[in-house]
Amino acid sequence: MKSNLTKCILLAGITMFMLSGARVESAFAFNNNINPVDSLGNEIQKQLADKDVRLQLYYPKSVSRLYTQTGFMPVWIKPQNYEGPAWQAMQMIDCVLQFGLSHADYHPKELINDQLHNILDTPKKVRIQQQAMFDIMLTDAIINLINNLHYGKLNPEYPASKIDALTDAAFMADKTLTLALLQKKLITAIAAVQPAMPEYADLRRKLYLLEGLRQNNCYELPQAQERKIAINMERLRWINTGDRYYIHINIPSYTLKLHIKDSTCSFKVIVGRPETPTPTLQSAVNYLTTAPEWKVPAAMFAGTVLPNAINDTAYLNNNNYGIYSQAGDFIDPTPANLTKIKNNPTQYYARQTIGCDNALGLVVFRFDNVYKIYLHDTPQLSLFAKKNRALSNGCIRIEQARRFAILLLKNDDSADKIKVLDKGLNTYFKQNIYLKKAMPIKITYLTCEIKDGELISLTDIYNLDNSLEMALYGTDKLL
């Protein structure tokens, strides 16, 4: 077998590599009375029923489903040459660092190349219990790899236990592996489960160049630059939806990219301050509202709007604010009423009406999310000239909001609604304009990107990189 460096060089290019050496067929021996494959299948079934064995697996339910479908026959321990599926699977595990993953997560103590040699070449010398355990562990390792490549290792919405319990999801690792085993190029089939986003492809390609060509040992902890790429590939796996057209907002780069038919349009955005961060999420823009009203967040009402109103009697009127009780009744902002409100601010709220000074600007883009944030226009256009644009209370402000709205409508085959849009913008007329098909929106936190083949590091404005790196690699050696 070749060195780890040689073995890994072609893997991350997602092409099939062939091991050197003669094409050696496995020396499975058959007894006159017992078929060793049937016997191995019985042992696999027995071990999968063992609670202690299942506790060692990352995806016990998925592994059991796969073996149940095969009648508990071995998945990997069968006659093959050095280009066969078992060797391809072992190659992928050896080189997981090229996918930004950790070799320690794929049963390294149980899955040893020499042991696979012994099982395939001299099976009579290896106890059937060991053969069954090797087959089960390799199956679990590859299912774990498939899920890590598709969902991510640390996906907050899809932990391993939730993924393992899925029975009718559009993507299931056990079904993916079953189909991949029918292909000659197992590696290619498995690698295809990764995100198709161009940002991910760029990072993956750069990691291959760094990890595949510079790393001397596939099992060592990657260098800082490689880890930087890896944690951001992990973040992109969390939003792996396969959408062709979508809105992508990246918080650290203060940018919005609209991926539509045959083009990508970029816009500057303003995001949340570190103390009021913009969350990462995925949703879909269903409609936009011209001349919107805005309900001021409770903290901002008590900490900013109310003190300013008490100090300046014209403040509320100049900024189009009205104060209301929680029951929705308008409160006349007399000094006595403002003092009363100050003593119990949680029973009141402020709402900013339409107008050129509205904090939401002239148009807001609506998408469902538990955080109640928006993507919206702003009258403070001078802020887009700043380099650091972490300036909001969590919502996202976009430059050239009208241009963005027009592109959305054209992509939606709703160009006839542009006149309606302009009427609302020009006359401060409040109206909802619905899209025929909701546009997916992905808000990410990527602290690096690839430009012209070079890795560009972005400011980790919310200080999230170190904790993710430690969780991904299980190390306290920070970037």
Tell me the domain boundaries of the chain: 4-237, 243-292+359-446, 294-353
**Model confidence pLDDT, tens digit, residues 59-103:** 999 999 999 999 999 999 999 998 999 999 999 999 898 899 999
Contact 429, 362 (CB under 8 A): no
Would you state the pLDDT for residue 328? 87
Q: What is the mean pLDDT of the chain?
A: 89
Would you state the pLDDT for residue 209? 86
Q: Is 60 exceeded by the pLDDT of residue 16?
A: no
Contact 333, 323 (CB under 8 A): yes
Contact 157, 72 (CB under 8 A): no
The model's confidence at residue 291, banded by pLDDT at 50, 70 and 90, is very high
Would you state the pLDDT for residue 318? 87
Torsion sign across C-alpha atoms 434, 439, 440, 444: negative
Q: Is 90 exceeded by the pLDDT of residue 218?
A: no
Residues 6 or more apart whose Cβ sits within 8 Å of residue 131: 40, 43, 74, 77, 119, 123
Q: Is 60 exceeded by the pLDDT of residue 374?
A: yes
**Model confidence pLDDT, tens digit, residues 292-351:** 988 898 999 999 999 999 999 899 988 889 999 999 899 999 999 999 999 999 999 999
Q: What is the mean pLDDT of residues 39-52?
A: 96
Would you state the pLDDT for residue 57? 98
Would you state the pLDDT for residue 25? 35
Rounded CA separation 293/364 (Å) = 10
Is the domain spanning 243-292+359-446 CATH 3.30.470.10? The answer is no
- pLDDT-above-90 percentage for the chain: 77
Would you state the pLDDT for residue 26? 36
| Single-letter amino acid, residue 299 | A
Would you state the pLDDT for residue 113? 94
Q: What is the mean pLDDT of residues 231-241?
A: 93
The count of other CB atoms within 10 Å of the CB of residue 353 is 16
The model's confidence at residue 118, banded by pLDDT at 50, 70 and 90, is very high
Rounded CA separation 111/103 (Å) = 11
For 165-176, give the DSSP string: H-SS-S--HHHH
Q: What is the mean pLDDT of residues 358-380?
A: 93
Predicted TM-score (pTM) of this structure: 0.83
Would you state the pLDDT for residue 294? 87
Rounded CA separation 107/116 (Å) = 14
* Three-state secondary-structure class, residue 40: helix
Would you state the pLDDT for residue 241? 81
Q: Two tokens at 341?
A: 């409100």
Contact 141, 37 (CB under 8 A): no
- pLDDT-above-70 percentage for the chain: 89
The model's confidence at residue 4, banded by pLDDT at 50, 70 and 90, is low
Q: What is the mean pLDDT of residues 371-394?
A: 94
**Any idea which of 145-149, 371-375, 436-440 has the lowest mean pLDDT?**
371-375
Contact 443, 236 (CB under 8 A): no
Give the chain's radius of gyration (CA, Å).
28
Q: What is the mean pLDDT of residues 136-146?
A: 98
Would you state the pLDDT for residue 62? 98
Q: Is 50 exceeded by the pLDDT of residue 33?
A: no
The model's confidence at residue 7, banded by pLDDT at 50, 70 and 90, is low
Q: Is 90 exceeded by the pLDDT of residue 283?
A: yes
The model's confidence at residue 275, banded by pLDDT at 50, 70 and 90, is very high
